[in-house]
Amino acid sequence: MLRILLIALVFAVFIAFLSRRQSAGKTNNSENSKLTATRIVKCALCDVHVAEEDALESKGQFFCCVEHRQNLDKGSLQ
């Protein structure tokens, strides 16, 4: 009888552990959807799309990297 109770207890703890992991996964998913909600901007030189927070802004335009921003500063737009 004691053995059955012990097995039931282990099973209950296992179920509780699984449901906790599932709810943790749900919070991770909502964090991911927040990340994908960031605005995407286009590099003014090569048209590569980058997240606004990763892009470099200069004179109201966005760039994917320092080199492309410097190209605009030199006035060598192709």
Q: Which residues of this protein are in contact with Zn ion, per CB under 5 A?
A: 43, 45-46, 48, 64, 68
Q: Which two tokens stand for residue 51?
A: 């997240």
Report how far residue 34's alpha carbon sits from residue 27's, in angstroms, rounded to the nearest whole number. Answer: 11
Report how far residue 53's alpha carbon sits from residue 35's, in angstroms, rounded to the nearest whole number. Answer: 11
- Least gap, CB of 36 to Zn ion (angstroms): 22
Question: Please, which residue, 27 or 76, has the CB nearer to Zn ion?
Answer: 76
Question: Please, which residue, 26 or 52, has the CB nearer to Zn ion?
Answer: 52
Report how far residue 68's alpha carbon sits from residue 64's, in angstroms, rounded to the nearest whole number. Answer: 7
Question: Please, which residue, 31 or 73, has the CB nearer to Zn ion?
Answer: 73
- Least gap, CB of 21 to Zn ion (angstroms): 41
